[in-house]
Amino acid sequence: MNKKTLFLQGNEVCVEAALYAGLDFFAGYPITPSTEIVEHLASRLPQKGGCFIQMEDEIASMCAIIGASLTGMKAMTATSGPGFSLMQEAIGYAVMAEIPCVIVNVQRGGPSTGMPTSVSQGDVMQARWGTHGDHAIITLTASNHQDVFAMTVEAFNLAETYRTPVILLLDEVVGHMREKLLMPEPAEIPLIERLHTSVKEGTDYHPYLPREDGRLPMSDFGGVHRYNVTGLVHDMWGFPTNNPKIAHGLMRHIVDKIENRVSEITRVKEYFLDDAEGILLSYGSSARSALHVVKNRRKSGERLGLLELQTLWPFPAELVRERCAHAKYVLVVELNMGQILQEVKKAVDDPSKVFLANKVDGTFITPTDIRNVIRLILGKGV
Amino acid sequence: MAVRDYIRERFMPHIWCAGCGHGIVMNNLIRAIEVLGLKKNDIVMVSGIGCSARISGYLDFHTLHTLHGRALAFATGVKLGRPDLHIIVPMGDGDATAIGGNHFIHAARRNIDITAVIMNNHIYGMTGGQYSPLSVYGRMATTAPFGNIDQAFDIVGLAQSAGASFVARTTSYHATSMIKIFQKAITHKGFSVVEVLSQCPTYYGRKNRLGDAVEMMEFFKKNTTPLGSAAKEKNPDLIERGIFVQEDRPEYCAEYKKIIKKAMGEQ
């Protein structure tokens, strides 16, 4: 098979992958470093008959994709830190009302306006807990363009499977870096389409009554079934209720449908883990430097391995515990103050063997930076 | 169809206080839709948060009860997804002019084919009587215990200058003309705004000693006048009601269709 080879920015790869996944609707607001996604979709989406709109802000963008999704469209928005903050209330709405949609956050540096053109992975916890109230969420990430493509498609597939918003956390380095992409052939990556109800017109349709497998077949707005969608706690018809039994059932459902399927949702990449004495655990762009260190040190016989997470939430704690069980040390490499570090410490049998190699100054973490931390761990000095 | 055929009885009783004007608005919306002969499957009602927003749940359409102030943003997504459907957005003071003010002016500016019905009762009812951007200067509210020093928005003027191509005002007293205005607003191609002065006897009325619902509706009768009437010249304090703007202007979804044609042609 002669695949088309493209040389693209990560943000452009995300656009191509979203179109591959069947994106119909995009609403967004320009913000560095995600703007290229908005710009490219402005031309690419109408070319395939899809709908692009630049909204008045990120709040409106998030709300618009939920509205569009209810009409049966595959919908996405893209933003960065400040815009991601503005979207949180509506992300919670999509969680509660169980509306499939994809939110791309190309992370930039710092809280507030921070460093718009610099890299960071500081929104990992915000992706998990940014919206209020107990809930579960799916968050994916990627370190290279082939994976950006795969994870973008995966984000749509998971959103449709679990009727949930899925957050794709990219970062400035991956978003703006240019590298090769081998464009997958049509149908090469399986696509999961929306599950529509088979209930016929005139028969009572329960939009919020899960099937035995936990899935909720949908009916598009404008179709034969008229029902209510609300962010309030609701019963199987979508009607608001304060009934404690129903409220409890709904809370369990929106959390369990994801937290009980961690192994199905987890995507990781493993490099040289079998005999690894030291395990680097990383994700996103920082995993590139980590992989460089591992490959380089292997040449000198150092038994290093890399566990690269592509699913950040739900956190694959069991897998991390198991893979790290025999390592002498685990070094988490991330561009924040240790957001995934804490999850790894919680997951492993011995948290005292978990260390952090990080940077929070807007610059990228280099293999040398990581190598220096390993030397400290091994008592060799820098 | 009878009025009750549009109502979800499962949702009753409604949450509105005795004497609230919102029931009159809901009733007249149904009557307008009935006269127009629209199919229930062709209507999506999108609302935000507040007493007014509850209308969506009570009616047997496709209904989307969203976040405070964001109804028009959700509605924009629904409309672009299915431009053939009628989108009606019942809103209150806060949804339309406070937390949702930005979405309101931008929906008007785009002239997207959505009907916004703004029930202006000068107060936040659901949370118990705080002042709103539509509260009259000097009036009392739980958050204005010494009198409101904010100036109120003029919804008609706001909608008009933001670019809405249909703008009207009526009151809960003027039920018959309200139905006709709703009919015109729903069939209008473009962003249509209908401001309905509605009474909140429980909070606005009580806090400001305006009497019961009947007295508040009588106030609407005595203090409003048809647009362009001679009475307004004699008494400039009268509030005008009627259709202020009704113009054919490029509608957003129709414009977007042209974009698709252009984009596909250029491929």
Question: What residues in chain A have their Cβ under 8 A from chain B's Cβ atoms?
Answer: 24-25, 27, 43, 46-47, 49, 51, 53, 55-57, 59-61, 63-73, 75, 89-90, 93, 221-224, 226-232, 237, 239-240
Nearest to A230 among B42, B65, B77 (CB): B65
Choosing from A183, A201, A220, the residue where a domain stops is A183
Length of chain A: 382
ipTM: 0.98
Question: Which residues does chain B have within 8 Å of residue A228's beta carbon, measured at their own beta carbons?
Answer: 8, 56-57, 63-65
CB pair distance less than 8 Å for B263 and A59: no
CA distance B74 to A44: 23
* Residue among A206, A215, A210, A211 at smallest CA distance from A237: A206
Residues A273 and A177 in one domain: no
CB pair distance less than 8 Å for B85 and A230: no
Q: Per-10-residue mean pLDDT for chain B, 267 residues long?
A: 91 95 98 97 98 97 98 98 98 97 98 98 97 98 98 98 98 97 98 98 97 98 97 96 98 98 85
CA distance A291 to A284: 11
Nearest to B78 among A47, A71, A226 (CB): A71
CB A3 within 8 A of CB A138: no
Give the closest-approach CA distance of A75 to chain B in angstroms: 10
Q: What is the pLDDT of residues B224-259, one digit of tens each?
A: 999 999 999 999 999 999 999 999 999 999 999 999
Strand order of the β-sheet with A278-282 is A268-271, A304-309, A278-282, A329-334, A354-358
Dihedral pair phi/psi, residue A138, rounded to 5°: -105, 130
Give the closest-approach CA distance of B266 to chain A in angstroms: 8
Question: What's residue B1's pLDDT?
Answer: 81
Question: What's residue B267's pLDDT?
Answer: 55
Residues A166 and A28 in one domain: yes
The three-point CA angle B239-B241-B242 to 5° equals 160
> Domain B3-265 has what CATH class?
alpha beta
Domain coordinates of chain B in residue numbers?
3-265
The residue behind tokens 């005595």 is: B222
Structural domain contains residue A133: yes
Residues A287 and A152 in one domain: no
The DSSP element (H or E) to which A75 belongs, if any, is: strand A75-79
Q: What is the pLDDT of residues A303-314, one digit of tens each?
A: 999 999 999 999
Give the closest-approach CA distance of A64 to chain B in angstroms: 4
**What residues have CB less than 8 Å from B6, skipping those under 6 apart?**
B30, B33, B34, B40, B59, B60, B61
- For B226-262, b/e burial (b = at least 16 CB within 10 A) is eeeeeebeeeeebeebbbbbeeeeebbbeebeeebee
Counting Cα atoms < 13 Å in the Cβ hemisphere of A92 gives 17
Looking at chain B from residue 68 to 97, which residues have their Cβ under 8 Å from any Cβ of chain A? Answer: 70, 73-82, 84-85
Beta bridge partners of A110: none
CB pair distance less than 8 Å for B82 and A231: no
Number of domains in chain A: 2
Choosing from A164, A183, A202, the residue where a domain stops is A183
> In 3-state terms, what secondary structure has residue A335?
coil
CB pair distance less than 8 Å for B263 and A240: no
Residues A29 and A173 in one domain: yes
Give the closest-approach CA distance of A105 to chain B in angstroms: 20
Structural domain contains residue A232: no
CATH of the domain at A326: 3.40.50.920
Choosing from A159, A183, A207, the residue where a domain stops is A183
Substitution target in B14, B45, B67, B79 with the highest count of A β-carbons within 10 Å is B67
CA distance B36 to B45: 16
- Work out the number of other CB atoms within 10 angstroms of the CB of residue B193: 30
Confidence of residue A377 (pLDDT cuts 50, 70, 90): very high
Residue A215 scores a pLDDT above 70: yes
Both structure tokens of B222: 């005595």
Residue-by-residue DSSP string for A242-270: --HHHHHHHHHHHHHHHHTTHHHH--EEE
Residues A149 and A293 in one domain: no
Residues A178 and A275 in one domain: no
Residues A170 and A43 in one domain: yes
CA–CA distances in Å: residue A372 to residues A331, A378, B70, B159, B224: 12, 10, 50, 62, 78
Residues A158 and A44 in one domain: yes
Question: What's residue A36's pLDDT?
Answer: 98
Residues A141 and A280 in one domain: no
CB pair distance less than 8 Å for A68 and B60: no
- The number of C-beta contacts closer than 8 angstroms across A and B is 136
Range of the domain at A112: 4-183
Structural domain contains residue A94: yes
